[in-house]
Structure 1
């Protein structure tokens, strides 16, 4: 039996080459690890995946509350007998109290103090809130009454032949005075509920005859009459 052949010992140069290869491999692995940590290539792939958007259902309490559209104030329909209506600067509000008669003054107004034979008197109403607070009042033609008298004789009343009267609630500011938007013209004839045909009415005498105008609006009458003369 032959003796085993002794292993050949490598030269130091071989060992140095092997250690260099191992060292280079470790450096390459470390470089790859560092690149992965810095570059983070997986982020680009993740950003390409669409993220579903969650639609939120609005809370019921967040819905806008519809505001009530104010209905336009009724506009009185002009008639031959009663068409003027005071023109306050504001419409009525539901939280404002109605006017009290003691806080309202009403005045009968004529456009002249005397009228020639070919002139017809024109009447208006002046309304004043003498109270310290705003108040509401119905100033429509349903509440307006113009009355012309001569002595104790009632010659003409605006409601005798009034057609299609209407309501109009307005707000009168404290201290505010308003007047009729348009005058009411008297044709100088006697009125009656059964003589609405003006051609058949009796004509009021002239020649300097004295007449008086009284008015009422919203249930409040004028404190005094206004005198005028017809010629």
Structure 2
């Protein structure tokens, strides 16, 4: 009978296990939370309006000490590039060359220059022989001071036409010798500035 009681007590201890009561319980995972989806009847919140861009800043123009705009200086020889121009490279018999001047302000600042006909010169040569000068029989001339912006290029408004004759101050109202076929050079100057190169063209 005693043996039976001991066996029953051992079984009770195995099932009860009183020593496990002092240990912390294992954490229980909480159920996952699902973010509710907005119902179709609830409109989504509108996006915040984009921040307006800043207004453009006007350029800050600084006057000189007198409070007026800076004075524009006269163009220097170093600032101006002059080029002789013809409308063609080759002229058939009877075609008259049209002559022009192109000039550029190669500096980084505006400048003033007299580009009037009083300051223009066209000279046509063949070898060492000068055939024609625009100033030999020039009847009218004028001054025209213009401001050339930095980097600006301008050309003659109306080209000057050469009649293919030899000019002279003594033959302005009379017949002149006609130029022979061959190669000719046009050199120009304006405002006292000479073109660095001549323009070569051919008469046939």
- Deviation, structure 1 residue 96: 1.0
Q: Measure, in 2, the Cα distance between the counterparts of 1:224 and 1:186.
A: 19
- Deviation, structure 1 residue 200: 1.1
Which of 198, 202, 206 is the aligned partner of 2:177?
Answer: 202
User: TM-score with structure 1 length normalisation?
Assistant: 0.58
Deviation per CA, 1:59-117, whole angstroms, max 9, x where unpaired? Answer: xxxxxxxxxxxxxxxxxxxxxxxxxxxxxxxxxx9921000001100000000001000
Q: In structure 2, what is the equivalent of residue 28 of structure 1?
A: none
- Deviation, structure 1 residue 201: 0.6
- Deviation, structure 1 residue 137: 0.2
Counting matched residue pairs gives 136
Deviation per CA, 1:16-60, whole angstroms, max 9, x where unpaired? Answer: xxxxxxxxxxxxxxxxxxxxxxxxxxxxxxxxxxxxxxxxxxxxx
Aligned pairs for 1:43-192 (under 5 A) are 95-192=71-168
Which of 178, 187, 199 is the aligned partner of 1:214?
Answer: 187
Deviation per CA, 1:5-24, whole angstroms, max 9, x where unpaired? Answer: xxxxxxxxxxxxxxxxxxxx
Q: In structure 2, what is the equivalent of residue 229 of structure 1?
A: 202
Three-state SS of the structure 2 residue aligned to 1:200 is coil
Mark the runs of 5 or more structure 2 residues left unpaired by the alignment.
1-68
Q: Measure, in 2, the Cα distance between the counterparts of 1:108 and 1:148.
A: 11
Name the CA shift for 1:153/1:94 in 2 (closer, same or farther; >3 Å). Answer: farther
User: TM-score with structure 2 length normalisation?
Assistant: 0.65
